[in-house]
């Protein structure tokens, strides 16, 4: 059974369609790269899939739980929004223990997991420093740990490598792959296309609320009729261009 | 359905949020000091009074709790509900780290967690006074049962205030989030609601104004908490009411709690309507840039019906419109103005009402306080208000234009209102036509000074980071220091000028006291020399002479020389601070 599944999922704000009849089927242990220009509807899609907003029509489920069942969803998902949801007055340790407590995670095992994750992300030395004094990268890492702490079935990551130095970004990429290897489905939204090319099994491109392309990165970058290889960036630019000439070119291609 | 362990998690959220509040408060020493004073001084006064009158208190004979006391409790409760509702609507309708919390626990858990946190804040604030009262009741009134019942009454008071206030607050927040009309006019509607609530409160607080006594509110069942609090003491309440208020409070907590849960479950998961487009969606969630109507003069449209006059240059007009829009869209930043209003205004009005001199005080108070208020509205933190846009602003507009832009709203929109209100206040005052006219002119003069000096003060004491937890991260009020400096520079000379105009004898006495007799008394108290010889004694003599000399000045002389010097000082101060603001802006280097 797919871990993330949507059918005709639609979100309308007044007269405007933010998400237009989205059909997704994402399997267990895969990394789904979710691309789209600014304002394409990516964040709305993530908010729909995490139960933070209700669809106008259509259905969706996470690990078999309907996305309208917020209480049922919570144990199955982890969410790292673009703006890390952290408390400035807490230390990383306090923040992580607090969230673990709210999720009723077993204390001893959680302590070990927190320590391991802090260690892997090179945060141990700063774990007792207030988050107000953290750099953007340190906040991002803390929020990442928070999102995966309870080993959810599905993790939604919105620009997880944003603001990270190359070493930390690589660590996150490796951890995403490890997550997928352990069976977690990763829904990854980012503008950093090389990250998607490196870690995603499947890529979906959203434009004006519609899924305009979907497939594995290799297929997407392969020009069908000529056999030429494009970069994912070329494909992205063609498919999401608002220039009619480019649209024609993309369709022809 | 919420998770089974939601009460435990709600408690955990409440405690965590409370701890964050304490930490944030600890970092803001000015607020901490203010709150500590507000908490400790009344308690110490109560303690002092009880120590002084300990014997009298011990010998109090039994008497029935008057309706006035029940009404007073009900009045404070209603006022508390208003304050909490106002806090929910303006500052904290959503929890911080919302996406985290709502994907971690149920909305019910978050909602009850916030209620617990708010209750803990109130109890922390009221803890010391409650302790003092309990001590008095147990030890002086000989009522051991007060050890339990008085804190219970306090907890019930706090809990019901928080739950009822939150239920009202979330209902209003929901209305703002769903009705484009309410969203667009929330500042004006909020101001009207505030005036209505404060007006109602003062009507009952000061029966001299309206003839309405607090006793008229004795029928409100929550006032029966007084009957619960006095059980065991010589004050005899109604046992039936004491039991009834416990049951009633429990019912209110259950119904109010359910209401809060329902409201938040809707409010936190809907997209708020945009105040700028009828029936449209919020900026954050729409994600569609083309949703916004691309009118050429959208900034001017955003501040309608106010119109910045076209005779000012375009940069000045834009800065003025921006300042207006910021004030209108983010009125939370201006909550700081309520602190001095309550701290100074409340005792002043109270004294005036009780002495029957409200008419005489109203006009001078209006002439002095309103200019200060308008001067504080637009430019008390101009650099901080710019936020991330500051570097762009610094490179886009000249200091001269920027500072003028900050001054324009106060002059164009504040000045006419102040002149009108002061004129009306003068009409109902006992002053002569000449004095009334003088007060109107004074209010105009003070408005010009207040709005001209505020940019420099705001730039000298900028605040770049949001304060306090529990408030929206977007709330960026000015520094208390800036508010205090501005208030001192406007209110003190303003009060002196008003007094010189309508009560010169009082002004002369106050001046003699401040500059002569008060220092004399202090120095004489400090002087340890038994024979009255020494530096302190000499200085005291000099101050006494100053006081006597001031008292010897003729009233006409004082009005002309003292008033003239203060007026000229104000003009000079305005000019210097205007130039200083321009200079600061032009030379400002963002960190």
Q: What is the pLDDT along chain A (253 residues), one digit of tens a residue?
A: 799 999 999 999 878 899 999 999 999 999 999 998 888 899 899 999 998 888 999 999 999 999 999 888 888 999 998 888 888 878 898 889 888 888 888 888 888 999 999 998 889 999 988 888 898 888 988 999 999 999 999 999 998 887 788 888 888 888 899 999 999 999 999 888 888 888 999 999 999 899 998 988 888 777 545 556 677 777 777 777 765 554 444 433 3
Q: Is A146 touching B (CB cutoff 8 A)? A: yes
Burial of B105 (0-12, 13-18, 19+ CB in 10 A): buried
Residue A24's pLDDT is 95
Tokens of B137: 């009741």
The chain B residue lying nearest A48, using CA atoms, is B269
Q: Which residue has the tokens 């916030």?
A: B114
Give the torsion sign (CA, B485, B491, B494, B500).
Answer: negative
User: Is residue B299 within 8 Å of B322, Cβ to Cβ?
Assistant: yes
For A248: left if phi > 0, alpha if psi spans -120 to 50, otherwise beta; the answer is alpha
pLDDT at residue A126 in the model: 92
Tell me if chain A has a CB within 8 Å of the CB of B285.
yes
Q: Which residue would you say has higher pLDDT here, B345 or B238? A: B238
What string of H, E and C letters represents the secondary structure of chain A?
Answer: CCCEEEEEEEEEECCEEEEEEEEEEECCCCEEEEECCCCCCHHHHHHHHCCCCCCCEEEEEECCEECCCHHHHHHHEEEECCCCCCCCCCEHHHHHHHHHHHCCCCHHHHHHHHHHHHHHCCCHHHCCCEHHHCCHHHHHHHHHHHHHCCCCCEEEEECCCCCCCHHHHHHHHHHHHHHHHCCCEEEEECCCHHHHHHHCCEEEEEECCEEEEEECHHHHHECCCCCCECCHHHHHHHHCCCCHHHHHHHHHC
- Signed CA dihedral, B110, B114, B115, B120: sign only: positive
Furthest CA-CA distance within chain A = 60
- Report the greatest alpha carbon distance in chain B: 86
Distance from CA of B335 to the nearest CA of A (A): 23
Q: What is the CATH number of the domain that holds A242?
A: 3.40.50.300
Residue A242: per-residue pLDDT: 63
Q: What's the whole-number average pLDDT of chain A?
A: 86
Decide if A85 and B24 are in contact by the 8 Å CB cutoff.
Answer: no
A80 pairs with which residues across the strands?
A157
Asked if B363 reaches chain A (Cβ–Cβ under 8 Å), the answer is no
Per DSSP, B336 falls in state G
Q: Specify if A63 maps to a domain.
A: yes
CB contact under 8 A, A89 and B286: no
**CB pairs A-B closer than 8 Å:** 102
Take residue A5 and report the two structure tokens written for it.
């599944």
- Among B291, B290, B183, B173, which residue's Cα sits nearest to residue A14? B291
- CA B270, CA A196: separation in Å to the nearest integer? 31
Residue B336: what pLDDT? 64
Query: Buried b / exposed e across B154-170, counting CB within 10 Å, b at 16+?
Result: bbbbbbbbbbbbbbbbb
- Cα B220 from Cα B161, distance rounded (Å): 14
Average of per-residue pLDDT values in chain B: 85
Angle, helix A107-120 to helix A92-102, in steps of 10 degrees = 140
Interchain proximity B103–A52, CB inside 8 Å: yes
Q: Is A69 within 8 Å of chain B by CB? A: no
User: Is residue A217 one of the residues assigned to a domain?
Assistant: yes
Task: For residue B179, give every residue at least 6 positions away whose Cβ sits within 8 Å of its Cβ, in sequence order, or none.
Answer: B273
Is B271 in Cβ contact with A13 (below 8 Å)? yes
Q: Assess if residue A125 is contained within a domain.
A: no
Q: Which chain A residue lies closest to B272 (C-alpha atoms)?
A: A13
Look at residue B470 and tell me whether its pLDDT is greater than 80: no
Q: Looking at residues B262-290, what average pLDDT do you find?
A: 64
Q: Residue B118's closest CA among B78, B75, B86, B73?
A: B86
CA distance A106 to chain B (A): 14
How far, in Å, CA of B390 to CA of B479, rounded?
Answer: 18
Place of tokens 């501040």: B303
How far apart (Å, rounded) are the C-alpha atoms in residues A87 and A131? 7
- Which residues in chain A have their CB less than 8 angstroms from residue B183's CB? none
> Who has greater pLDDT, B445 or A163?
B445
Q: Is the pLDDT of residue B41 over 50?
A: yes
Domain count, chain A: 1
Assess contact for B279 and B180: CB atoms under 8 A.
Answer: yes
Contact partners, residue A7, CB within 8 Å, separation at least 6: A23, A58, A59, A60
Determine contact, residues B419/B438, Cβ cutoff 8 Å.
no
Per the DSSP assignment, residues forming a β-bridge with A19 are: A11
- At B273, list the tokens: 């309507």
pLDDT band of B108, cuts 50, 70, 90: very high
Count CA within 13 A, CB hemisphere, residue B353: 16
Cα–Cα distance between B291 and A209 in angstroms, integer? 14
Per-position b or e across A146-160, b if 16+ CB within 10 A of its CB: bbbbbebbbbbbbbb
pLDDT of B139 reads 87
Q: Which token pair is B559? A: 């009005």
Looking at beta carbons, which residues of chain B come within 8 Å of A103? 104-105
pLDDT at position B78, please? Answer: 93
SS3 track for B257-306: HHHHHHHHHHHCCCCCECCCCCCCECHHHHCCHHHCCCCCCHHHHHCCCC
According to the 3-state scheme, what is the secondary structure of B116-160? HHHHHHHHHHHHHHHHHHHHHHHHHCCCCCHHHHHHHHHHHHHHH
* Tokens describing residue B503: 């009560």
Q: What per-residue confidence (pLDDT) applies to A252?
A: 39
Closest partner residue to B286 (CB to CB) among A13, A52, A99 is: A13
User: Would you state the structure tokens that stand for residue B516, as one six-digit string?
Assistant: 């002569």
pLDDT at B286: 42
Q: How far apart are CA B1 and CA A244, in angstroms?
A: 49
Given this model, what pLDDT does residue B475 score? 60
Angle at the Cα of A51 (from A48 to A54), degrees rounded to 5?
60
Reference B459, options B384, B402, B519, B525; nearest CA is: B384
> Can you tell me which residue has the tokens 């609090």?
B229
Q: Residue B335: what pLDDT?
A: 65
User: Which residue bears the tokens 């010589």?
Assistant: B234
Q: How many CB atoms lie within 10 A of CB B58?
A: 12
Q: Exposed (0-12), middle (13-18) or buried (19+): which is B29, by Cβ within 10 Å?
A: exposed
Report the pLDDT value the prediction gives residue B568, as an integer from 0 to 100.
Answer: 96
Residue contact A71–B5, C-beta within 8 A: no
Q: What is the pLDDT of residue B290?
A: 41
Burial class, B565, CB count within 10 angstroms (exposed 0-12 / middle 13-18 / buried 19+) = exposed
Pick A18's closest partner by Cβ from B16, B279, B287. Answer: B287
Nearest one of B481, B529, B482, B323 to B409, comparing CA atoms: B323
| Percentage of residues of chain B with pLDDT beyond 70 | 88
Q: Do the chains contact at A89 and B98, CB–CB below 8 Å?
A: no
Nearest CA to CA, how far is B5 from chain A (Å)?
9
Average pLDDT (B460-486) is 72
Each as own residue / partner, the long-range contacts of residues B85-89 (CB below 8 Å, 24 or more positions apart, any chain) are B85/B165, B85/B166, B85/B168, B85/B169, B85/B172, B86/B169, B86/B194, B87/B118, B87/B165, B87/B169, B88/B165, B88/B166, B88/B168, B88/B169, B88/B170, B88/B172, B88/B173, B89/B169, B89/B172, B89/B173, B89/B176, B89/B190
Residues in chain A: 253
In angstroms, the CA A207 to CA A211 distance is 6
pLDDT tens digits, residue range B152-199? 999 999 999 999 999 999 999 999 888 888 887 777 788 788 878 887
Domain containing A167: what range?
Answer: 4-80+154-252
Q: A22 has which bridge partners?
A: A9
Asked if A88 lies within 8 A of B469 by C-beta distance, the reply is yes
**Looking at the complex, does the CB of residue A107 fall below 8 Å from at least one CB of chain B?**
no
Is A53's Cβ below 8 Å from some Cβ in B? Answer: yes
* Cβ proximity of B130 and B29 under 8 Å: no
Q: Between residues 457 and 516 of chain B, which touch chain A (CB distance below 8 Å)?
A: 469
Contact B106 A38 (CB under 8 A): no
Minimal CA–CA distance to B74: which of B221, B274, B291?
A: B221
């Amino acid at each position: 059974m797919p871990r993330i599944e949507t059918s005709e999922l639609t979100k309308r704000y007044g007269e405007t369609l933010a998400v237009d009849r989205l059909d997704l089927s994402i399997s267990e242990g895969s990394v789904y790269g979710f691309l789209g220009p600014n304002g394409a509807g990516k964040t709305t899609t993530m908010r729909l899939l995490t139960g933070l907003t209700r669809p106008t029509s259509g259905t969706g489920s996470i690990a078999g739980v309907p996305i309208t069942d917020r209480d049922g969803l919570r144990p199955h998902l982890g969410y790292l929004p673009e703006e890390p949801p952290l408390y400035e007055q807490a230390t990383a340790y306090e923040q992580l223990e607090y969230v673990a407590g709210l999720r009723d995670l077993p204390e001893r095992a959680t302590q070990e997991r927190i320590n391991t994750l802090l260690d892997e992300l090179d945060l141990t030395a700063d774990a007792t420093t207030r988050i107000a004094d953290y750099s953007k990268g340190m906040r991002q890492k803390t929020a990442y740990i928070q999102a995966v702490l309870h080993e959810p079935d599905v993790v939604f990551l919105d620009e997880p490598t944003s603001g990270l130095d190359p070493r930390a970004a690589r660590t996150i990429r490796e951890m995403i792959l490890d997550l997928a290897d352990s069976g977690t489905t990763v829904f990854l939204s980012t503008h950093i296309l090389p990250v998607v090319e490196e870690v995603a099994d499947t890529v979906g491109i959203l434009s004006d609320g519609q899924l305009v392309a979907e497939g594995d990165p290799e297929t997407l970058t392969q020009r069908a009729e000529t056999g030429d290889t494009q970069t994912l960036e070329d494909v992205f630019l063609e498919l999401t261009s608002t220039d009619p000439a480019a649209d024609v070119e993309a369709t022809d291609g | 359905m919420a998770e089974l362990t939601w009460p435990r998690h709600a408690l955990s959220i409440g405690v965590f949020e409370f701890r964050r509040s304490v930490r944030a408060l600890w970092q803001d020493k000015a607020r901490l000091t203010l709150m500590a004073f507000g908490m400790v001084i009344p308690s110490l006064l109560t303690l002092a009074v009880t120590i002084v009158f300990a014997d009298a208190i011990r010998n109090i004979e039994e008497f029935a709790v008057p309706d006035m006391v029940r009404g007073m409790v009900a009045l404070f409760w209603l006022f508390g509900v208003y304050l909490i509702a106002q806090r929910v609507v303006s500052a904290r309708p959503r929890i911080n780290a919302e996406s985290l919390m709502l994907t971690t626990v149920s909305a019910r858990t978050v909602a009850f967690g916030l209620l617990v946190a708010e209750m803990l804040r109130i109890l922390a604030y009221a803890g010391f006074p409650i302790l003092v009262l309990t001590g008095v009741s147990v030890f002086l009134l000989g009522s051991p049962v007060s050890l339990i019942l008085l804190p219970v009454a306090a907890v019930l008071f706090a809990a019901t205030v928080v739950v009822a206030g939150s239920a009202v607050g979330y209902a209003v927040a929901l209305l703002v989030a769903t009705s484009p009309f309410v969203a667009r006019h929330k500042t004006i509607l909020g101001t009207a609601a505030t005036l209505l609530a404060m007006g109602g409160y003062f009507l009952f607080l000061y029966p001299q104004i309206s003839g309405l006594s607090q006793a008229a509110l004795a029928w409100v069942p929550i006032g029966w908490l007084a009957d619960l609090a006095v059980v065991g003491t010589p004050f005899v309440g109604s046992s039936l009411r004491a039991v009834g208020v416990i049951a009633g409070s429990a019912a209110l907590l259950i119904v109010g709690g359910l209401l809060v849960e329902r409201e938040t479950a809707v409010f936190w998961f809907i997209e708020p309507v945009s105040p700028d487009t009828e029936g449209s969606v919020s900026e954050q969630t729409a994600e569609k840039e083309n949703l916004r109507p691309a009118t050429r003069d959208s900034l001017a449209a955003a501040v309608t019906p106010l119109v910045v006059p076209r005779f000012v240059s375009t940069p000045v007009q834009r800065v003025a419109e921006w300042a207006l829009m910021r004030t209108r869209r983010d009125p939370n930043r201006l909550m700081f103005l309520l602190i001095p209003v309550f701290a100074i205004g409340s005792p002043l009005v109270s004294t005036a009402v009780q002495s029957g001199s409200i008419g005489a005080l109203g006009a001078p108070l209006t002439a002095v306080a309103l200019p200060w208020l308008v001067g504080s509205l637009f430019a008390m933190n101009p650099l901080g208000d710019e936020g991330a846009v500051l570097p762009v602003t610094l490179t886009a507009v000249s200091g001269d234009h920027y500072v003028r832009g900050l001054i324009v709203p106060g002059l164009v929109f504040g000045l006419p209102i102040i002149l009108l209100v002061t004129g009306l206040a003068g009409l109902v005052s006992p002053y002569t036509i000449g004095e009334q006219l003088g007060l109107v002119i004074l209010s105009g003069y003070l408005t010009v000074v207040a709005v001209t000096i505020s940019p420099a003060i705001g730039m000298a004491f900028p605040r770049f980071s949001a304060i306090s937890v529990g408030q929206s991260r977007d709330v960026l009020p000015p520094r208390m220091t800036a508010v205090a400096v501005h208030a001192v520079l406007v209110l003190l000379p303003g009060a002196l000028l008003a007094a010189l105009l309508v009560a010169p004898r009082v002004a002369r006495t106050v001046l003699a006291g401040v500059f002569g007799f008060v220092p004399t008394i202090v120095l004489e108290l400090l002087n340890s020399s038994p024979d009255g010889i020494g530096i302190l004694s000499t200085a005291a003599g000099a101050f006494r002479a100053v006081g006597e000399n001031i008292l010897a000045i003729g009233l006409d002389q004082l009005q002309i020389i003292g008033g003239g010097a203060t007026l000229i000082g104000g003009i000079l101060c305005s000019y210097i601070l205007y130039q200083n603001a321009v200079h600061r802006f032009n030379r400002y280097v963002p960190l």
